[in-house]
Amino acid sequence: MKFLLHRQSSTPLYQQIFTYIVQQIQNGMLKDGEQLPSLRALADDLNVSVLTARKAYKWLETKGYVFIQPGKGVYVRGKKSISVQIERPYEWQRSLSTNVVRSQYLINRKKQYYDFSQAVVYPRLLPTQFLADEMQKILDKNKMILATYGSVQGDEELRLEMAKYLRDHQGLNTHPSNLLITSGVQQGIDLVAQTLLKPGDTVVVESPCYGAAIDVFVNKGINLISIELDEQGIRSDALEEVCQKKKPKLIYVNPSFHNPTGTLMSEQRRQELVELAELYGFFIIEDDSFGEIYFDHVFPPHPIKYFDRNGYVIYLKGFSKTMAPGVRVAALLAEGPVFDWLYGVKASMDIGSPLLTQKAILPFLRTERMKNHLEKLRIALQIRRDTAVDIMSSLTGMVELRVPKGSLNLWISLPDSVHPLRLLEKANEASISFLPGSSCFVHEPKHHHIRISYSLLSDRDLTIGLQKLCEVIFDFGD
């Protein structure tokens, strides 16, 4: 019995063997009562261990597809196959999958009224009307823009304004030719992964980490190593230990008001990361999605990219959070041959990001509107943060809060007796959603956490929803 095993897949080999034999039974290729190969013969045919073969047969027996006669062999029990095929008609598709399907967004697919799961800003705090008016002006002037592909690199006018913005607000002296416009930071992360990584490469991430970034790396078969954060960000001493034992291809960090914890990486730690990249020869993906959303006059240091002189840092600047999620515009900054590689992969991805939205944000960046908008947005979000902290503090002694100095999220540690997924089920019954902390870890975390995003709801719904959530947590903990 020989067939192709996907050895790079995260699906265990014994499960792949199980699935194949079930298919053979269901399509009639293996008849009721037919004897299957011995453990040793199956192991030799598929180049697997006898233990793997034994686990596959044991699982088939447990599910009722075969029966084992000690000393004689393994035999097909085929009468059950028809009902199983009717109950699960799409099961055959699993045998074709070579990737892990991991996504933090699968957890909260059903939208709840009190939605604390999305790190998205309340629509009325964003310049949606201005952007809508600008898009209408563009369409009135030139409807053919809808029939035009944007350039692969991004609109030239927008890249010019982006370069000015990065110079004025981040201290990054860059040329528009080194910028690539992407459809949000998420596409930028995926673009870097597609360009630089292959299955089996080692990538270092923070622990906890932005869950959607973990999804990108895991689903590409990458070997992920997570390093804990302290109050200054990812520990550079722990990173160096990893570099001495492994050879990471890149590390991914979210240094300015980290998602999900809100941690602000110190300037010293940022410089140390660049020094380690130079010493051990790895890339750094710097995700700067929240740098402008700071509170309590706590200004973030220069980006990690500011300290990079030799092209080790690939900098991603997102505008979806602060301007409009539906615009999906971000800038990727890179120098050297890697920029050409990224350009080529971007061309194969989408040929170019939508031109209409790129043109629409130009007036916003060219005037004082962006500066004024960010000032008002910070005030509104700080009020929401304070509201969230005040309400959740009623659970002091039961939960532990990490008060962020920026960003959109509140990271909450739960008692060991309160499991986040079971808590989420109870919260859903009250029309409440949040992000379980397990979505932000490579492996199952030692302790229980949840992430509350205080940015999406109105002031009134934020207050009511959090009060209801406190009741759910309190009742759950009794």
257: left (phi over 0), alpha (psi -120 to 50) or beta: left
Q: Residue 334 above 90 pLDDT?
A: yes
Place of tokens 């061309």: 347
Other Cβ atoms closer than 10 A to 129: 9
DSSP one-letter code for 22: H
pTM: 0.78
What six digits make up the tokens of 328? 């999906």
Q: Coil, strand, or helix at residue 252?
A: strand
Task: Using pLDDT thresholds of 50, 70 and 90, give the confidence band for residue 393.
Answer: very high
| Per-residue pLDDT reduced to its tens digit, 395-410 | 988 999 989 999 999 9
As beta bridge partners, residue 287 has: 316
How buried is 363 (Cβ within 10 angstroms: 0-12 exposed, 13-18 middle, 19+ buried)?
middle
Q: Are 342 and 195 in contact (CB under 8 A)?
A: yes
Query: Does residue 141 or residue 263 have the better pLDDT?
Result: 263
Q: Residue 83 above 50 pLDDT?
A: no
Summary mean pLDDT of the chain: 89
pLDDT at 88: 57
What six digits make up the tokens of 345? 């992969």
| Per-residue pLDDT reduced to its tens digit, 276-294 | 999 999 999 999 999 999 9
Q: What's the average model confidence in pLDDT over 302-313?
A: 96
Q: Are 388 and 463 in contact (CB under 8 A)?
A: no
pLDDT at 81: 41
Q: What's the average model confidence in pLDDT over 131-153?
A: 85
Q: Are 408 and 454 in contact (CB under 8 A)?
A: yes
Sorted by where each starts, the structural domains of the chain and their CATH numbers stand as 13-96 (1.10.10.10), 104-123+371-477 (3.90.1150.10), 144-367 (3.40.640.10)
What six digits make up the tokens of 304? 């990690």
What six digits make up the tokens of 467? 């009060």
Strands 250-253 and 179-182: unpaired
Angle at 420 between CA 415 and CA 426, to 5 degrees: 110
H or E element, residue 307: none
Q: What's the average model confidence in pLDDT over 452-463?
A: 96
Q: Are 400 and 251 in contact (CB under 8 A)?
A: no
pLDDT at 325: 80
From residue 426, alpha-carbon distances to 12, 152, 282, 411, 472 in Å are 33, 46, 44, 19, 7
Q: Are 293 and 406 in contact (CB under 8 A)?
A: yes
Place of tokens 């270092």: 204
Residue type present at position 252: Y
Q: Which residues are CB-neighbours of 103 under 8 A, at least 6 positions away?
A: 212, 215
As beta bridge partners, residue 331 has: 181, 317
Q: Which residues are CB-neighbours of 153 under 8 A, at least 6 positions away?
A: 159, 179, 180, 181, 343, 346, 352
Strands in 202-207's sheet, in edge-to-edge order, are 179-182, 330-333, 313-318, 283-288, 250-253, 202-207, 223-230, 233-234
Chain-centroid distance, C-alpha 279: 28
Residues constituting the chain? 478
Angle at 332 between CA 373 and CA 143, to 5 degrees: 70
pLDDT at 95: 64
Strands 202-207 and 250-253: parallel
| Per-residue pLDDT reduced to its tens digit, 37-70 | 999 999 989 989 999 999 999 888 888 888 888 8
Q: Which residues are CB-neighbours of 409 under 8 A, at least 6 positions away?
A: 119, 259, 260, 261, 262, 451, 452, 453, 454, 455
Separation between Cα atoms, residue 151 and residue 262, nearest integer Å: 35
Rg of the chain over all Cα atoms, to the nearest angstrom: 26
Beta strands in 3-144 (DSSP E): 66-69, 73-76, 114-115
Least confident interval from 35-39, 89-93, 458-462: 89-93
Q: What's the average model confidence in pLDDT over 135-155?
A: 86
Separation between Cα atoms, residue 384 and residue 376, nearest integer Å: 13
Sign of CA dihedral 236, 240, 242, 243: positive
| Per-residue pLDDT reduced to its tens digit, 153-208 | 999 999 999 999 999 989 999 999 999 999 999 999 999 999 999 989 999 999 99
Separation between Cα atoms, residue 37 and residue 246, nearest integer Å: 41
pLDDT at 28: 78
Q: Residue 431 above 90 pLDDT?
A: yes
pLDDT at 82: 40
Q: Residue 104 above 90 pLDDT?
A: no
Q: Residue 272 above 90 pLDDT?
A: yes
Separation between Cα atoms, residue 377 and residue 360, nearest integer Å: 20
pLDDT at 478: 60
pLDDT at 412: 96
Q: Residue 425 above 50 pLDDT?
A: yes
Q: Which residues are CB-neighbours of 275 under 8 A, at least 6 positions away?
A: none
Q: Are 374 and 292 in contact (CB under 8 A)?
A: yes
From residue 455, alpha-carbon distances to 39, 192, 328, 463 in Å are 57, 29, 18, 12
Sign of CA dihedral 40, 46, 47, 52: negative
Q: What's the average model confidence in pLDDT over 81-91?
A: 50
Q: Residue 76 above 60 pLDDT?
A: yes
